[in-house]
Amino acid sequence: MKNLKNLKEILSWIVPVVIGLAIALALKQFVFTRVRVDGPSMEPNLNNNEKVFAWKMSKVKHLSVIVFDAHGEDPAAKANTNYVKRVIGLPGDSVKSKNGYIYVNNKRVNQSFISTSERTSGTGNWTLASLQRQNDWQGGNNGKIATVVPKGKYFVLGDHRSVSNDSRYWGFVDKDKVLGVVKVPSWASSKTKRVNINSLAY
């Protein structure tokens, strides 16, 4: 009887722990995961070493900030390397940059999430086709020069354009590489930064 009582006591704290771990693993696998921002490419809205959440079930939209597995997208990225960038172009979109403005399907994108100097410094003048030719990356269109973002792909930029290593240099992000849409928790960062990350997608 004593052994049975001891077993029940042990199980009374082991079972909740096991259940809690199972729930935590399920949440990480299917709902969200915590991500650390590495580098300055998303400044001024996300800082180096900042902790954010990536929601796996959120729909990727224009201006969504995403985290994705960069290995196999950026040739320089090692295995288990994740990037955080902002989605500018969705499948079927034409994207170009001219005089500090980004145009998607010939409509100028509101870039209120960065300053004028940040918008004009480092972005450059280009089209998808000119970027592909200049940097010799694959267009995802059976080897043809891409004039629009291919099916199942995204075109991404960092907010800090002058230092960001993004789609301009290595091409599109495959949707299967996306780990989730980034959200900044309510207790972190400033209200403006939270809006710029959490609320601009359309």
- Give the catalytic positions in this structure: 41, 85
Handedness of CA 120, 122, 126, 128 (dihedral sign): negative
Give dist(CA 181, CA 183) in Å, integer. Answer: 7
Check: CB of residue 118 under 8 Å from CB of residue 135. no
Give dist(CA 181, CA 153) in Å, integer. Answer: 15
Closest Cα partner for 202 from 123, 86, 100, 106?
86
Instruction: For residue 126, list its beta bridge partners.
Output: 97
Closest Cα partner for 93 from 48, 146, 30, 131?
146
Handedness of CA 15, 18, 24, 28 (dihedral sign): negative
